[in-house]
């Protein structure tokens, strides 16, 4: 488990797998307190099953994911718009949509958004990711100008890239409030 500080936007990252060492212990119920959203990689069936566990308040099994406290689908769409401009990736579908009528809190990131974020991670200019994070923080949706969200953007980029390499989709689960 890796703890990241700053804005409390990105709480923890979990990346189990043989290439990354032993799988981390799942977060305890106490550690999950305050987690309002989770970005994770998986198949459609895995996403539905994980959403059921998350909605029940139980601790989900280990899987590549980011536990978030203040990021919404709209926030990620705005990140995609900023990143697409920064890497001059063109235009495409950035809308994060619900994937199942019975899981209103579960969304799938569209392939174009994932491609843009992966390309951001491959940028030849090492300043690009930080500039995108700065613009995202200053956006009306995030509303935290001056806050350093580089670690959050890097975490999202890493997860999306890893999911793409594994042939998985990326999902966002948002706690119903």
Looking at per-residue confidence, does 20 or 108 come out higher? 108
Query: CA 118, 123, 128: angle at the middle one, nearest 5?
Result: 105
Non-local (6+) Cβ contacts of 170 within 8 A are: 39, 40, 41, 108, 109, 114, 159, 160, 163
In this prediction the pTM is: 0.80
Higher pLDDT pick, 26 / 97? 97
First to last CA, the chain: 27
Region of 164 on the Ramachandran plot (φ > 0 left; ψ -120 to 50 alpha; else beta): alpha
CB 68 within 8 A of CB 39: yes
- At 102-160, the pLDDT tens digits run 888 999 999 999 999 999 999 999 999 999 999 999 999 888 888 899 999 999 999 99
């Amino acid at each position: 488990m890796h703890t990241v500080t700053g804005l409390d936007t990105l709480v923890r990252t979990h990346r189990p797998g043989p290439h990354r060492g032993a799988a981390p212990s799942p977060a305890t119920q106490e550690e999950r307190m305050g987690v309002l959203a989770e970005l994770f990689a998986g198949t459609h069936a895995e996403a539905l099953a994980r959403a059921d566990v998350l909605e029940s308040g139980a601790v989900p099994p280990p899987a590549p994911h980011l536990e978030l406290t203040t990021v919404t689908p709209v926030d990620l769409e705005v990140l995609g718009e900023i990143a697409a401009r920064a890497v001059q990736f063109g235009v495409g579908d950035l809308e994060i949509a619900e994937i199942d009528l019975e899981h209103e809190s579960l969304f799938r990131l569209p392939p174009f958004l994932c491609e843009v974020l992966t390309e951001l991670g491959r940028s030849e200019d090492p300043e690009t990711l930080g500039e995108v994070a700065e613009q995202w923080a200053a956006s009306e949706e995030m509303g935290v100008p001056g806050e350093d969200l580089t670690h959050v953007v890097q975490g999202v980029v890493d997860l999306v890239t890893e999911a793409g390499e594994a042939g998985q989709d990326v999902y966002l689960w948002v706690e119903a409030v």
